[in-house]
Structure 1
């Protein structure tokens, strides 16, 4: 096997597949990157058994030659070492040659590295996924869905299914839900082309976070294929596989209140900044709690106090107020995360009492729903 390639383009591919490689894997060959060379180009594969990322670099892109294939073949090279070597090579042309006993030579300028490779036939095969359970989303919309939901997954392993985002397809729409049992983030998307059957899968939050980094600025739509154990996100040059989480995801629809006793419409950015300031004094050991109080029909008060440090009070103008006066306490972090997901728009907050969950929505778009459980402070 022998090929020469532009170093910067190889680094782009390595940056993607390295996101799937873990040094903690119990399968030794998965600490490596699989390199497959054919007459069409080079395919790089990285995996930690939960996530597998494969990227393809063609011989030619936009009329420009990226690589020359002198002899096709396959090899697995130690991922961290190969990545570091390529990153630090002195010129933009890299020649990789594999000789007998998997000895791999990497040349660039006056640099000459020799690595011992592993047999590519020992590398796990990619999952086989059929095309009958497929949806397609624009890359920027997929990134937005991830940003608006993934922050609310649980970070503790006590209920593994809650560390993922539930994707449910039914009634002409995709509904994505994340909850850690203290808050909930939900995003609905109307789909034009639906699979023939309803689907319900839970995708690990970690997988979606890594996927979002790879989707940077791709103008191409993303094809999404689902099975009972795997999901595949496919763009023209990247395949991103993730295992799915097993277990029954809780029925979150019962959490969302159907009526409200207090409705406040307010500028999301102003509220976010006010809570950010109040949280400076919120006591860490009380989960960073701030208090939200309606004063009159024109303003609300955000306050926090810490016996050791001091207290803060700030009034914020509201656009409209309906219903009963209210004092409620909640986690500043949870509220700030929710407002960031709605992206500083005007929001309507619906309360059903001081100790009941409350919801936050954009007044312009009811596709996004955020729900937070209050904190008892007395």
Structure 2
């Protein structure tokens, strides 16, 4: 007979449940994978969830549990248990397994009786760690992902481009993302040298889910690398993701090294100009706007025969001229990734890539391809 009984404060259990539930897919047709496995051991409570693409384990140590009476395990519907705990009052919650696979969730005035699933049916998750993980500061890791993930492809026609390319060599950590119309590259240095070079592709949506679990603190994220998977460890959370198979396209020759035009603009001014000009774009997919540089004036414009025309102008110091069109959405995403007062637009001609960078920080480079207009 399977049994389990413990008490825990609502906020402690809810935090771990919210993190673990990120591995549950609403599209999964396998009943056991729609659930969260509770396993109470001597050292505390382990929560598990998996959709075969991502697996998450969250841990609540024994000293954070109000009381433990009987050790044991059970799998319970993830969607229901998370909502139930969220809507219970802020007090101690009692969790008890009775009659095999029945779960009682109760407080002083409320009791839920839920049907559980045999925990032996839950897949055995291989969450082993390597002896020498790569350690990255939490804040830096969040920046790495947030400054690149938006450039991944949303189309499954080229699966590799839905991922983020991690390259590690020596003490350098280079991160790349591209959907073939734009590219984001971030470079950081890690604390120790890597013996063997690493070149892997991690699904972008998985990394985005991971960043949502990271707090704004000074803790570190451990990366444990394997041949077909990557395991991240952060505080009491273990996050396992599969890797995308294949060789990521070479992008080193895409970013120009020299430019005829370099325009340094205030972040807010440039962002707002493009944002307002995009309001009248007729093609919602591309959101095409035009940049026109003449002597001492930068103009961002868009024209829609059905809607009208908008022109945004800015005085700028330059003796160059160019007319170039691009996706306002892609450009706004690129500019937004810089947490700086100024950004630099680098161009050569109307058919060459536009590179966005910051003169004070060379670790981040964004690239947007121009759009040919009639």
TM-score range, shorter chain: over 0.9
Question: Hey, what does 1:182 align to over in structure 2?
Answer: 181
Moved more, 112-121 or 169-178: 112-121
Distance 2:299 2:193 in 1: 46
Q: How far apart are the structure 2 equivalents of 1:128 and 1:32?
A: 18
Q: 1:54-69, aligned counterparts within 5 Å?
A: 54-61=57-64, 66-69=65-68
Quick check: 1:52 aligned with 2:55? yes
> Which whole-Å deviations, capped at 9, do the CAs of 1:178-223 have from their partners, x for residues lacking one?
0000000000001121332110111111111111110032431111
Q: Normalising by structure 1, what TM-score? A: 0.94
Secondary structure class of the residue paired with 1:301: strand
CA contact (8 A) 2:170 2:194 kept: no
User: Which deviates more from structure 2 when the two are superposed, residues 223-232 or residues 117-126?
Assistant: 117-126
Correspondent of 1:27 among 5, 9, 30: 30
1:114 Cα shift?
1.4
Corresponding residue number in structure 1 for 2:75: 76
Tell me which moved more, 13-22 or 257-266.
257-266
Match of 1:15 in 2: 18
Residue number in structure 1 paired with 2:342: 346
Aligned ranges for residues 354-369 of structure 1 at < 5 Å?
354-369=350-365
Secondary structure in 1 aligned to 2:143? helix
- In the TM superposition, structure 1's runs of 4+ consecutive aligned residues that sit over 6 Å from their partners are none
Specify the SS of the correspondent of 1:154. Answer: coil
- Taking structure 2 as the reference length, the TM-score comes to 0.95
Alignment of structure 1 residues 282-301 onto 2, 5 Å: 282-284=281-283, 287-296=286-295, 298-301=296-299
> 1:212-246 deviations in whole A, cap 9, x for unaligned?
11003243111111112111110121111111111
Unaligned runs of 5+ in 2: none
The answer for unaligned runs of 5 or more in structure 1 is none
2:366 aligned residue (365, 370, 374)? 370
CA distance in 2, matches of 1:133, 1:270: 46
- 1: distance between equivalents of 2:39 and 2:243? 27
Q: CA shift at 1:133, angstroms?
A: 5.7
1:255 aligns with 2:250: no
Structure 2 Cα separation of the partners of residues 83 and 370 of structure 1:
39
1:164 aligns with 163
**CA deviation map 1:270-314 (0-9, x unaligned):** 101100010011112571111111121x33111111111111111
TM superposition shift of 1:58: 1.5
Aligned residues of 1:133 and 1:227 also touching (Cα < 8 A): no
Q: Distance in 2 between matches of 1:26 and 1:133?
A: 37
Count of residues paired in the alignment: 371
CA RMSD in angstroms comes to: 1.6
Q: Compared with structure 1, are the counterparts of its residues 359 and 109 closer, same or farther at alpha carbon in structure 2 (3 Å cutoff)? A: same
Q: How does 1:146-225 map to 2 (within 5 A)?
A: 146-225=145-224
- Give the alignment partner of residue 313 of structure 1, picking from 303, 308, 311: 311
Cα displacement (A) at 1:91: 5.2
Q: How far apart are residue 128 of structure 1 and its match?
A: 4.6
Indicate yes or no: 2:7 matched with 1:4.
Answer: yes
- How far apart, CA to CA, are the structure 2 residues paired with 1:112 and 1:346? 57
